[in-house]
Chain A
């Protein structure tokens, strides 16, 4: 591996960019991680209530109908989007080689965002939810969310315009894409649902919003991370740069068509779910291109996976993206989908996307970014290892039980001459898996938040060597031996 060593000027430039992003990015990361812990606890409680509904009977604040939407709102708007915004800001600064300006403004608007999420979660919790998945909050909150998002990402425009490397790197394209696409889908969904479309269409638009949030916002942000971190750590270029470009354009053309297949057989013109199903299948091309490209980039240095936390989380996230895309393509066809819709399967799929794919990739980015912007190393490699494995066990337990439970429940739903509740009773055993999974994920994220808080408080390890999951065998984890690993 002959990697050109960075010149002192380049190192100085990196350091100054990192320093400029320090406070805004750390603000987003830490508040996101706090929301994540809250979201996982809510996920555990809601799953518990789903399995044991008579628990704390009569208390409206712990009913599933309030806990679950609160959990999803906290997970998506509190954790995922906030952490994603932090990653976008840092990556944009690094890729355009510009210092992040207006840090104070960004932090102030970040507080507005957090206030909006707090209102969102509490209004759902106090019974003002509207029963629209991921858009549960009272309608006056959405302009606040949209505006604060716009006022945060708008500072990337001058950065992008004054970029210093002329060819736009593919990660930059993904970030610009994500920055622009989210307002589009968020405004479209909220305006059409709130301004009085037919309620059936509202449900379809909501399904469109959820899959688009995954394919039009989470996927681009996560792919920007993967196309940045994996070549960096492997110390070699992306295996095929044109293929990475192709991924971007495929996603840009296809993502907006997905979603309606969630309500296949519903009262929509039949071509709408059919087109969505086809788009979900065609998107597999983009995912195939990405996963192949990244795996070929890492060919021959798979051992890095054992040491580098960033690489391990990112690669795992990308594999989960592949799994998600495959399952979503399958369940978008009538053959599989008609027996899976309206069941646990949908919850399993959403969680696979939000946690298994997006969150794990973002953890990879956070493990990479935070040592650079705080100037200290992660306190404990063992805790990173625990974070990874408990998260992995948790998400896999959840996904497997929800998918299998979904098949069971979907089969029961098709039995028209039995009571509806039977379909639920028959599959409720699988909900135990979901509760256990969220407990494991909660524990892993307690470790994560603890480490992040230490870094935030300046209690990171002062050392010349990176914190690795395992020390490299036979050598001390010195800076030289572990060059670029973290």
Chain B
């Protein structure tokens, strides 16, 4: 029987037709079925995979918001053993942050003083070249907290406008925007880094808090021109108060 099958020639007369080769005969049939069950270990590993996957999904997906690009869990770590300085990676100078925050607060001022700080000639006074910006910080603090009612002379020109009070802003935001104005638009005196701290604005609130309504030019001129708000100066790299004051 087997020999007979082996010699079946499917294309009779054609040379090279393959015979019923041994590999075909010895091959096992493909059995259907298989009802085995897997043990507890596999089930536990499977459950673990589900927990890990779900944990990853919900801890990193930020609520599937398309506006969030930075995942909090993603923060490459420089390893000191490879020459990286871990503290250096985080070290963006304090003043950079302080200034960029101040620039954001300055958006409140753009309508009148303009992004350039040049104001609108004849209508709104400039900050660039303004003696009120370049001088001591007390007058600036007073203006920020209570505003000014014109007429008011800036860099030789008289302006008749009302500047509103900004005392609804936090001390920190006022400090940031005053720092921004002074460092960006002011021409500061030797040794003045232009920085105004939260602590200084807090002191200004105490000093000028009793005043009601916007200042007039005469009231402002009563404050000495070179008077600075009290408070220690800070290290521009770290934002920490300098010990020598």
Q: Could you tell me which A residues sit within 8 Å of B by CB distance?
A: 3-4, 6, 8, 10-12, 14-16, 18-19, 22, 167, 169, 228, 231-233, 235-244, 264-265, 267-271, 273-275, 277-279, 281-282, 284-285, 288-289, 292-293, 296-297, 333-335, 338-339, 371-372, 374-377, 411-418, 426, 463-466, 479, 482-486
In the assembled complex, 21 residue pairs joining A and B whose CB atoms fall closer than 8 Å, in A order, are A6-B29, A8-B5, A11-B24, A16-B10, A19-B17, A22-B18, A240-B35, A270-B70, A271-B62, A281-B49, A281-B53, A284-B53, A285-B50, A338-B77, A339-B77, A375-B19, A415-B84, A416-B78, A417-B89, A418-B83, A464-B22
Using Cβ atoms and an 8 Å threshold, which residues of chain A touch B66? 269, 271
| Pairwise interchain contact A273-B23, C-beta atoms closer than 8 A | no
One of B36-44, B95-103, B155-163, B187-195 at the interface: B36-44
In the complex the two chains form, what is the Cα distance from A271 to B22 in whole Å?
57
| Pairwise interchain contact A239-B22, C-beta atoms closer than 8 A | no
| Pairwise interchain contact A18-B24, C-beta atoms closer than 8 A | yes
Q: In the complex, how many residue pairs between chain A and chain B have their CB atoms under 8 Å apart? A: 202
| Pairwise interchain contact A3-B29, C-beta atoms closer than 8 A | yes
Q: B72-106: which have CB < 8 Å to A?
A: 73-79, 82-85, 88-89
| Pairwise interchain contact A6-B25, C-beta atoms closer than 8 A | yes
Given contacts A240-B35, A269-B66, contact A274 B19 (CB under 8 A): no
In the complex the two chains form, what is the Cα distance from A268 to B70 in whole Å?
8
Q: B5-64: which have CB < 8 Å to A?
A: 5, 8, 10, 17-38, 42, 45-46, 49-50, 52-54, 56-57, 60-64
In the complex the two chains form, what is the Cα distance from A484 to B74 in whole Å?
52
Using Cβ atoms and an 8 Å threshold, which residues of chain B touch A376? 21
Q: With A278-B53, A281-B49, A285-B46 given, can you name 6 additional A-B contacts, CB distance below 8 Å? A: A15-B24, A240-B38, A278-B56, A288-B49, A413-B76, A484-B26
| Pairwise interchain contact A269-B28, C-beta atoms closer than 8 A | no
Using Cβ atoms and an 8 Å threshold, which residues of chain B touch A268? 69
| Pairwise interchain contact A241-B29, C-beta atoms closer than 8 A | no
Which of A22, A239, A271 gathers most chain B CB within 10 Å?
A271
In the complex the two chains form, what is the Cα distance from A25 to B181 in whole Å?
77
Q: Which residue in chain B gives the minimum CB-CB distance to A167? A: B32
A304 to nearest B CB, angstroms? 11
Interface 1/0 per residue, B205-237 and A, CB below 8 Å: 000000000000000000000000000000000
Given contacts A271-B64, A375-B21, contact A231 B42 (CB under 8 A): no
Given contacts A15-B10, A241-B34, contact A414 B20 (CB under 8 A): no
Using Cβ atoms and an 8 Å threshold, which residues of chain B touch A240? 34-38
Q: How many residues of B contact A (CB 8 A)?
A: 61
Using Cβ atoms and an 8 Å threshold, which residues of chain A touch B31? 3, 231, 235-237
Given contacts A237-B34, A415-B84, contact A282 B53 (CB under 8 A): yes
In the complex the two chains form, what is the Cα distance from A292 to B37 in whole Å?
11
Q: Which residue in chain A gives the minimum CB-CB distance to B84? A: A415
Q: Could you tell me which B residues sit within 8 Å of A by CB distance?
A: 1, 5, 8, 10, 17-38, 42, 45-46, 49-50, 52-54, 56-57, 60-71, 73-79, 82-85, 88-89
Using Cβ atoms and an 8 Å threshold, which residues of chain A touch B52? 281
Candidates B26, B30, B63; contact of A169 at CB < 8 Å = B30
What are the 10 tightest A-B residue pairs by CB atom distance, in nearest-first order?
A: A415-B84, A281-B53, A278-B57, A274-B60, A237-B31, A237-B34, A375-B18, A414-B76, A274-B61, A270-B71
B26 to nearest A CB, angstroms? 5
Q: Which residue in chain B gives the minimum CB-CB distance to A17? A: B24
| Pairwise interchain contact A239-B34, C-beta atoms closer than 8 A | yes
In the complex the two chains form, what is the Cα distance from A244 to B26 in whole Å?
26
Q: Which residue in chain B gives the minimum CB-CB distance to A334? A: B73
| Pairwise interchain contact A11-B20, C-beta atoms closer than 8 A | yes
In the complex the two chains form, what is the Cα distance from A424 to B89 in whole Å?
20
Using Cβ atoms and an 8 Å threshold, which residues of chain B touch A244? 34
Given contacts A338-B75, A415-B83, contact A271 B25 (CB under 8 A): no
Using Cβ atoms and an 8 Å threshold, which residues of chain B touch A292? 38, 42
Q: Which residue in chain A gives the minimum CB-CB distance to B45? A: A288
Q: Which residue in chain B gives the minimum CB-CB distance to A14? A: B24
Using Cβ atoms and an 8 Å threshold, which residues of chain A touch B77? 338-339, 414
Using Cβ atoms and an 8 Å threshold, which residues of chain A touch B20? 11-12, 15
Candidates A238, A284, A411; contact of B34 at CB < 8 Å = A238
Candidates A169, A273, A284; contact of B32 at CB < 8 Å = A169
Using Cβ atoms and an 8 Å threshold, which residues of chain A touch B89? 416-417
Q: Which residue in chain B gives the minimum CB-CB distance to A9? A: B5
Candidates B8, B10, B25, B76; contact of A339 at CB < 8 Å = B76
Candidates A16, A339, A484; contact of B28 at CB < 8 Å = A484
In the complex the two chains form, what is the Cα distance from A254 to B203 in whole Å?
61
Using Cβ atoms and an 8 Å threshold, which residues of chain B touch A277? 56-57, 60
Q: Which residue in chain A gives the minimum CB-CB distance to B27? A: A484
Q: Which residue in chain B gives the minimum CB-CB distance to A1? A: B28
In the complex the two chains form, what is the Cα distance from A485 to B61 in whole Å?
50
In the complex the two chains form, what is the Cα distance from A53 to B62 in whole Å?
44
B35 to nearest A CB, angstroms? 7
B12 to nearest A CB, angstroms? 14
Candidates B26, B53, B64, B71; contact of A466 at CB < 8 Å = B26
| Pairwise interchain contact A482-B26, C-beta atoms closer than 8 A | yes
In the complex the two chains form, what is the Cα distance from A281 to B56 in whole Å?
9
| Pairwise interchain contact A338-B36, C-beta atoms closer than 8 A | no
Given contacts A11-B20, A479-B22, contact A4 B29 (CB under 8 A): yes
| Pairwise interchain contact A465-B22, C-beta atoms closer than 8 A | yes
| Pairwise interchain contact B23-A371, C-beta atoms closer than 8 A | yes
Given contacts A282-B50, A339-B76, A416-B78, contact A269 B26 (CB under 8 A): no
In the complex the two chains form, what is the Cα distance from A4 to B33 in whole Å?
14
| Pairwise interchain contact B25-A11, C-beta atoms closer than 8 A | yes
Using Cβ atoms and an 8 Å threshold, which residues of chain A touch B71? 264-265, 270, 273-274, 334
Q: Which residue in chain A gives the minimum CB-CB distance to B76? A: A414
Using Cβ atoms and an 8 Å threshold, which residues of chain B touch A8? 1, 5
| Pairwise interchain contact A418-B28, C-beta atoms closer than 8 A | no
Candidates B10, B49, B73, B83; contact of A335 at CB < 8 Å = B73
